[in-house]
Amino acid sequence: MALYEIRTLMTRSRVSLISFGDFPSDMAAILAARSLSRRNEAFEVWRGEHLVYRIGAPMEYRAPRPKLRRDSK
């Protein structure tokens, strides 16, 4: 058994669910991820720092840019 991380992503590029679980194989973790994700949602399956499987649009894990204050002079 290995610990896996399953990340699902909404279409607006925000992580909507991160779950962890012990699975006997990569395929078992992928099947669990498919059952957790909704239709047309992208998801990734990770084993440690190794990306096992990804389907859907590429995921970006960047924080949103801060809003700049503009001086009104």
- Which has more pLDDT, 55 or 10? 55
Residue 24 domain boundaries: 2-55
**21 class by beta-carbon count within 10 Å (0-12 exposed, 13-18 middle, 19+ buried):** middle
In a domain, 40, yes or no: yes
Q: Could you tell me if residue 14 is inside a domain?
A: yes
When pLDDT is cut at 50, 70 and 90, the band that residue 61 belongs to is low
Does 63 map to a domain? no
Q: What is the CA radius of gyration of the chain?
A: 16
Domain presence at residue 69: no
SS3 33: helix
What was the pLDDT predicted at 9? 78
pTM of the model: 0.70
Write the pLDDT tens digit of every residue in 3-47: 999 988 766 656 578 899 999 999 999 999 988 887 778 889 999
pLDDT of residue 6: 92
Instruction: Say how many domains are in the chain.
Output: 1
